[in-house]
Structure 1
């Protein structure tokens, strides 16, 4: 029979054994590796505010987009893709005006044309006539042109033919273009296979983070633009997404290629509020 003196000691040993086996009660409910003030999940806090998987029947117009004036439209192909054909220009019906400090990620999975006469792009437009900002998440002149694929940011537009050569540069507002063809594996360039192209920026920030990835997580590039707040969409006007497929000027066209269309698998806009 246990004596009155040894009974409390036995209870204490049992309690210590329970704590060592199961952890401190103060940490209950936290996953392994977590603490009360940290979260290792990189997707935590991100909210999808726009998604289009283009899953409609072949030939059907994408309901979340509209075509621009005097341009062709685009149609779903019945394979879960949008076909942005020759001379197409479309824009999201929705625009986003977000609080300063909001992180934004726009992404599209797409396959570029393989011709030397098409100029296709996925881009973010900040349509303010006084402060026209643009982020080209990916744009391509095709495998037959020296420019190939590139990224760009714009703070000026050369809209008049008589000033189209150097007007923006002469005012100190040239585009920033970054070639990226050389970063892709041979045979897996933007016109050879689908890639996911993203641009990350913060409303009120001054840089854009460009990246590309495949389904296996391979990233051929991860590039930051030169810091310049004028090149990042602000909240003075809603920004929208654009998909376009233009002709290059006739004197710059190169014969060759078989696919003029840009194929888009899906598009998303994700945000993380401050």
Structure 2
């Protein structure tokens, strides 16, 4: 080998050593090592699968149950007329007393502004909390009216002649109003449509009769049905009675006319009045109408 060839070889070797020595750490395994190229390509990452669409929540099933369609708690100022009611012709008005009560005074009769015409199969419950007069000359009542002139129907949820009268308190139903002074015989009874009345005074605890304390009274029926469930209860849920009427479709309000609620406080006929008592007004704490649609 000539001196020129040897010199060239020495120069090339020195250049290679410089290149390798200056390579960055980690390149090809570290300083002083020449990295071989890896002929295997990097694998392509698999695509991330899309998240599944969430299953839509099912629509909630409607729950059948009682719905309040009317409520009055009589919370207005003293002397103010209850705006959900109107008084009947030729009768006195009623007024709130400022204590959360309605005072249905002497010769007062009022009716709800609203009326309800409901599908057959609808359950209806009319309730009120009230205190009856303690006289022997008043006749006070909470009642449901089906004001159809051809087919009149009435449910007396509770009515009271007071503690001084033998009748006391009772619930009743009427399907006839055609008594006339000219008939010697009761026309309604003669046609088999006399009222059905059930005395309940004896079912209340002594000293807690309807004229001695507030009770809640209810009448529950089904439009198109044939019975009415009458009941009374106190705030603790104690019930002196819960009585179903005998089946008779004529005595249950239908849907040929709107059902309305009435509160009344009448005089008995003078010949039937008994002196005594101090409170002529009926006090009403609240009234509700609830329905449960079929």
Distance 2:185 2:124 in 1: 32
Counterpart position of 1:258: 278
Counterpart position of 2:205: 185
Distance 1:249 1:123 in 2: 20
Deviation per residue, 1:132-171 (Å, 9 max, x gap):
0000000000000000000001100145333496111011
Does the Cα contact within 8 Å between 1:54 and 1:62 map onto a contact in 2? yes
Q: 1:242 to 1:216 in 2, by over 3 A?
A: same
Does residue 109 of structure 2 align to residue 89 of structure 1? yes
Does the Cα contact within 8 Å between 2:226 and 2:248 map onto a contact in 1? yes
Distance 2:184 2:168 in 1: 21
Mark the structure with the bigger radius of gyration. 2
Does residue 265 of structure 2 align to residue 245 of structure 1? yes
Counterpart position of 2:142: 122
Distance 1:163 1:240 in 2: 31
Aligned residue among 120, 123, 134 for 2:154: 134
Does the Cα contact within 8 Å between 2:179 and 2:186 map onto a contact in 1? no
Counterpart position of 2:195: 175
Does the Cα contact within 8 Å between 1:121 and 1:243 map onto a contact in 2? yes
Does the Cα contact within 8 Å between 1:158 and 1:164 map onto a contact in 2? no
Distance 1:86 1:199 in 2: 25
Q: Give the gaps of 5 or more residues in structure 2.
A: 1-60
Counterpart position of 1:52: 72
Distance 2:286 2:70 in 1: 10
Distance 2:130 2:184 in 1: 29
Deviation per residue, 1:164-211 (Å, 9 max, x gap):
961110111000000000000000000000000000000000000000
Does residue 67 of structure 2 align to residue 63 of structure 1? no
Distance 2:258 2:184 in 1: 27
Deviation per residue, 1:58-93 (Å, 9 max, x gap):
000000000001011100000000000000010000
For the aligned residue pairs, the C-alpha RMSD in angstroms reads 1.5
Counterpart position of 2:96: 76
Deviation per residue, 1:98-127 (Å, 9 max, x gap):
000000000000000000000000000000
Counterpart position of 2:40: none
Q: 1:108 to 1:98 in 2, by over 3 A?
A: same
Q: Give the gaps of 5 or more residues in structure 1.
A: 1-36
Deviation per residue, 1:28-72 (Å, 9 max, x gap):
xxxxxxxxx9x9xxxx61100000000000000000000001011
Counterpart position of 1:206: 226
Distance 1:159 1:236 in 2: 23
Distance 1:196 1:258 in 2: 22
Aligned length: 234
Does the Cα contact within 8 Å between 1:210 and 1:224 map onto a contact in 2? yes
Q: In structure 2, the residue corresponding to 1:162 is in which secondary structure?
A: coil
Does the Cα contact within 8 Å between 1:113 and 1:260 map onto a contact in 2? yes
